[in-house]
Amino acid sequence: MFSQLKARFGSGLAVGIIGMIAIWLIGLVILPQLLMVDYSFRPNLLPADIGGPKDVYSLTNYETLFGNHIHLKIFFKTIWSSVLVTGLTLVVSYPIAFYLAKVATPQKAALCLLLLIIPFWINEILRTFSWYIILAYKGPLNALLLGLGFIDRPIRFLSGDGGVLIGMVYAYILFMIFPIYNAIESLDTNQIKAARNLGAGWIRTHWRVVIPHAKPGIATGCIMTFMLAAGSYAVPALLGSPGSRWFTQIIYNWFFEGGDWNQGAAYAFLLLIICIGFIALVMRIFKVGLGDIAK
């Protein structure tokens, strides 16, 4: 990499570029993570005791989670709900991605992409707040459903899992649409025509031809959505509290309300490890390699 950069920009600039990347990676990514790893294995002590005889490495912080049933329940609920969010986002995004890639005219596709992207120019917190308003007990959605006669009395969307699911599917839809869109776009349209021509209905055409081709894109989208959902804080905090708590909120509480950074760090790493393990497992099951995703 260095020789390439040197050939293009000269050695001075090449050293500068590599140096900046190194500072960014080491100083802002690797060191803080290592610090957190270090924290997570040490007890939470008064400043006076730090470095003293009590300051020893142990797995105590990690064991805490398995002793606390409520936390454990929320932990697994977070994983399970993130799976649900990922699945729902996939179901919503796949038809949109297919439409954009293969059905819409270029003008229509551009317009749709613009409509999808514009809301994301607004901060995530604000977008979530707008869902807070839409989903409110006396909010416009309930008013609409009541007005149309679908329901007799307003539904309590908020303070439960429903609102969180809706909010998250919306928040992460682009992370799912774009990789799938890219994957489907690279599919030769004649493949779809060939499948149709050989007698395949739409479902089979997708199942046997489009989805296998789009698998790397689907995997990328699912991984991103899953990681974002599992690590989400704003959406569950705004749309789910207090009925639906997310594990990230517990981590937050350890850090900023409990003041126990060591315990928080351990929780954060447990979440990270389980998520990575879960993704590796799912990739194994669906026979997706890391190389496919990088494509």
Partner 1 sequence: MDSSVHLDNTVMQFGDFTAIQKTDLTIQSGEFFSFLGPSGCGKTTILNMISGFIDPTQGDIKIGGKSMHGVPANKRPTSMIFQNLALFPLMTVAENIEFGLEVRGVSKNERKKASDRLLELVALEGSGTKKVSELSGGQKQRIAIARALAVEPQVLLLDEPLSALDLKLRQHMRTELKAIQRKTGITFIYITHDQGEALTMSDRVAVMSAGRIQQVADPITLYRDPHTAFVASFVGENNGVSGKVIEAKSDLVVLDCGPLGKLAGRSQGNIAVGTAATLFIRPEHFRLQAENGMHTLGATIDEVNFEGAYLTLNAKTPAEQALSIQLGTHQFSESLKKGAPVSLSYNELDAIVIAGEGHV
Sites of contact with partner 1 (CB under 8 A): 188, 190-191, 193-201, 204, 208-209, 212-213
Q: Is 173 exposed, middle or buried (0-12, 13-18, 19+ CB in 10 A)?
A: buried
User: Shortest Cβ distance from residue 206 to partner 1 (Å)?
Assistant: 13
User: Shortest Cβ distance from residue 211 to partner 1 (Å)?
Assistant: 10
116-149 burial by CB neighbour count: b if 16+ within 10 A, else e?
Answer: beeeeeeeeeebbeebbebbbeebebbeeeeeee
User: Shortest Cβ distance from residue 175 to partner 1 (Å)?
Assistant: 25
Q: Closer CB to partner 1, residue 140 or residue 212?
A: 212
Q: Of the candidates 122, 218, 116, 229, which has an alpha carbon nearest to the alpha carbon of residue 165?
A: 229
Residue corresponding to tokens 């395949």? 200
Q: What does the CA dihedral 7, 8, 11, 14 come to, rounded to 10 degrees?
A: -130
User: Shortest Cβ distance from residue 190 to partner 1 (Å)?
Assistant: 4
Strands annotated E in 159-278: none
Strands annotated E in 217-263: none
- Give the whole-angstrom CA distance, residue 222 versus residue 110: 24
Q: Closer CB to partner 1, residue 77 or residue 215?
A: 215
User: Shortest Cβ distance from residue 282 to partner 1 (Å)?
Assistant: 20
User: Shortest Cβ distance from residue 105 to partner 1 (Å)?
Assistant: 11
User: Shortest Cβ distance from residue 101 to partner 1 (Å)?
Assistant: 17
14-29 burial by CB neighbour count: b if 16+ within 10 A, else e?
Answer: beebeeeeeeeeeeee
User: Shortest Cβ distance from residue 108 to partner 1 (Å)?
Assistant: 15
**Is-contact 78 160, C-beta < 8 A?**
no
Q: Closer CB to partner 1, residue 38 or residue 188?
A: 188
Q: Closer CB to partner 1, residue 3 or residue 190?
A: 190
Q: Closer CB to partner 1, residue 195 or residue 219?
A: 195
Q: Closer CB to partner 1, residue 156 or residue 196?
A: 196
Q: Closer CB to partner 1, residue 52 or residue 212?
A: 212
Fill in the DSSP letter of residue 119: G
Q: What is the CA radius of gyration of the chain?
A: 24
Q: Closer CB to partner 1, residue 65 or residue 101?
A: 101
- Give the whole-angstrom CA distance, residue 277 versus residue 280: 5
